[in-house]
């Protein structure tokens, strides 16, 4: 029998929900590229309920305990005295979410001799030292596409929020004001602007499709170029590198995976090549941007706004400068954890576990590392290496 260690974010401050705003959510059976949505043998939860927090348990406890397995669920994940660190020693499987990542560093791999599988409930496995997983023969899997559309919707929302100066305008309402001049002094139309995405995978292409009706110029850069018919359908211009793309864009959205090649890609040098007053949206990974370079660019006016829901480390320390820098639209990492998305990635996590316990192959599109090498989606999106360095800073975070 196996021990499954699951790290999830805390329950709501007012307690686990007893009712929800909606009675149901749409049922998604497949995605735009033809990939089927998760297909576990069964689920033990109600779609549309909170599954990603500790009490939600991803709907896994009944399934696992009925088969004699042990499930440990915690939100305490950082530092040597954390529950995660203690329970990791004899864990067979670790489950974590990108929104509240349990950083699986090389040091932690060394403390977990029984570990066979690391699952990302969602997409984005950069909180795992992929090189260490390769060297130790630990499989890494994620629920590919489960929340890609969720994130792309969030990107569009943030672009409009920045360009139209939505957040400061809303704040005037809360203050009881009617300060139209203050609201519109930083408000523009998105129409006619040039918008580019760094990477055009599942999320990036979904963003392009959703922005096309806004009558903007569309651009992208990616090491995997889109098919000609897709470029023509979207009316999108390909750029061979990020430097050539950012020079022509009013808005740039980052939708690339984090690995050693993309770490701190948006630094002082690259940001200086962007149009003055450009907007930058990052729902990919916080570490793709140089933290302090973003602050400097907003303070100088080189960037007119920065929005995202990804930070490094996560959760972000209370003194993280992105909380207080000017003209930002930051949120906690929520873009891919809507109640709709949780239904899919919880089901996908169970599907992966069913395959693992039955000795059946895990879907190729779910695989990141398998058999001591990058595999499946991992071979397409990642490079070997480690992006977890510096994650110990997350231990500084304390609840207020």
| Closest by CA position to 330, among listed 299, 296, 306, 298 | 306
- For 133-178, the pLDDT digits (tens) are 999 999 999 999 999 999 999 999 999 999 999 999 999 999 999 9
391 pLDDT above the threshold of 90: yes
Q: How many residues does the chain have?
A: 400
> Does domain 148-323 correspond to CATH entry 3.30.70.1230?
no
pLDDT of the residue at 398 = 64
Is there a cis peptide before residue 313, judged by omega within 30 degrees of 0? yes
399 pLDDT above the threshold of 90: no
pLDDT of the residue at 111 = 97
Structure-block tokens of residue 125: 């496995």
Structure-block tokens of residue 85: 């660190």
314 pLDDT above the threshold of 90: yes
CB 368 within 8 A of CB 125: yes
Q: Known catalytic residue: 333? A: yes
Q: What percent of the chain has pLDDT over 70?
A: 99
pLDDT of the residue at 134 = 97
The radius of gyration of the chain from alpha carbons, rounded to an integer in Å, stands at: 21
pLDDT, greater one: 11 or 260: 11
**β-bridge mates for residue 219, sequence order:** 196, 237
CB 314 within 8 A of CB 99: yes
Dist. CA 219–CA 274, nearest whole Å: 14
Q: Known catalytic residue: 314? A: yes
Element (H, E) at 307: strand 303-308
97, 131, 147, 194: which is the annotated catalytic residue? 147
Q: Chain-centre distance of CA 157, in angstroms? A: 16
97, 165, 314, 342: which is the annotated catalytic residue? 314
Q: What percent of the chain has pLDDT over 90?
A: 96
pLDDT of the residue at 384 = 87
Average pLDDT rounded to a whole number, residues 360-387: 94
375 pLDDT above the threshold of 60: yes
Average pLDDT rounded to a whole number, residues 80-107: 97
* Neighbouring residues of 178: CB distance < 8 A, sequence distance ≥ 6: 172
Other Cβ atoms within 10 Å of 340 Cβ, number: 18
333, 344, 350, 363: which is the annotated catalytic residue? 333
Q: Residues 233, 147, 213, 163: is their CA dihedral positive or negative?
A: negative
First vs last C-alpha separation in the chain: 39
Structure-block tokens of residue 188: 């523009």
pLDDT of the residue at 397 = 82
400 pLDDT above the threshold of 50: no
Which residue is listed with tokens 């489950």?
Answer: 95
What is the residue-averaged pLDDT of the chain? 96
Q: How confident is the model at residue 276 (pLDDT cuts 50, 70, 90)?
A: very high
**β-bridge mates for residue 168, sequence order:** none
- For 207-233, the pLDDT digits (tens) are 999 999 999 999 999 999 999 999 999
Average pLDDT rounded to a whole number, residues 173-186: 98
* CATH architecture of the domain formed by 3-146+337-396: 3-Layer(aba) Sandwich (3.40)
354 pLDDT above the threshold of 50: yes
Which residue is listed with tokens 């009944």?
Answer: 62
CA dihedral 108, 110, 112, 118 (to 10 degrees): 60
69 pLDDT above the threshold of 90: yes
Q: Chain-centre distance of CA 215, in angstroms? A: 27
8 pLDDT above the threshold of 80: yes
285, 327, 328, 344: which is the annotated catalytic residue? 285
Q: What is the DSSP string of 23-51?
A: S--PPP-B-TTSPBPP--S---S-TTS--
Angle (CA) 147-223-144 rounded to 5° is 20
Comma-separated ranges of CATH 3.40.50.720 domains in the chain: 3-146+337-396, 148-323
pLDDT of the residue at 383 = 86
CA distances from 69 to 58, 84, 177, 229 (A): 15, 18, 57, 49
pLDDT of the residue at 385 = 87
């Amino acid at each position: 029998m196996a021990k499954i260690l699951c790290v999830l974010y805390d329950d709501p401050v007012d307690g686990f929900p007893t009712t929800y705003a909606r009675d149901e959510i749409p049922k998604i059976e497949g995605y735009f590229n033809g990939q089927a949505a998760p297909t576990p043998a069964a689920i033990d939860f109600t779609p549309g309920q909170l599954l990603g927090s500790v009490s939600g348990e991803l709907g896994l406890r009944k399934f696992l305990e009925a088969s004699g397995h042990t499930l440990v669920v915690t939100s305490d994940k950082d530092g040597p005295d954390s529950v995660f660190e203690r329970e990791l020693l004899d864990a067979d499987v670790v489950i974590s979410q990108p929104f509240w990542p349990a950083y699986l560093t090389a040091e932690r791999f060394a403390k977990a001799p029984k570990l066979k599988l690391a699952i990302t409930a969602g997409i984005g496995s950069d909180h795992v030292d992929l090189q260490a997983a390769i060297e130790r023969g630990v499989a890494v899997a994620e629920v590919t596409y489960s929340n890609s559309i969720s994130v792309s919707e969030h990107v569009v929302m943030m672009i409009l929020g920045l360009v139209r100066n939505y957040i400061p305008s809303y704040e005037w309402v809360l203050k009881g004001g009617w300060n139209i001049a203050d609201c519109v002094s930083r408000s523009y139309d998105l129409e006619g602007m040039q918008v580019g995405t760094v990477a055009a995978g599942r999320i990036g292409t979904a963003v392009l499709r959703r922005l096309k009706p806004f009558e903007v110029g569309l651009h992208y850069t990616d090491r995997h170029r889109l098919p000609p018919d897709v470029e023509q359908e979207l009316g999108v211009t390909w750029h061979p590198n990020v430097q050539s793309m950012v020079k022509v864009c009013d808005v740039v959205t980052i939708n690339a995976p984090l690995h050693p090649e993309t770490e701190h890609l948006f630094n002082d040098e690259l940001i200086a090549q962007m149009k003055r007053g450009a907007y930058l949206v990052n729902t990919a990974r916080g570490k793709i941007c140089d933290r302090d370079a973003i602050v400097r660019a907003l303070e100088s006016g080189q960037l007119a706004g920065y929005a995202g829901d990804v930070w490094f480390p996560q959760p972000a320390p209370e003194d993280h400068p992105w909380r207080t820098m000017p003209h930002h639209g930051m949120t906690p990492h929520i873009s891919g954890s809507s109640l709709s998305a949780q239904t899919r990635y919880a089901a996908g996590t169970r599907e992966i576990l069913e395959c693992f316990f039955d000795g059946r192959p895990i879907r190729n599109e779910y695989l990141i590392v398998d058999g001591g090498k990058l595999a499946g989606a991992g071979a397409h999106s990642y490079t070997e290496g480690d992006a977890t360095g510096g994650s110990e800073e997350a231990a500084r975070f304390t609840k207020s």
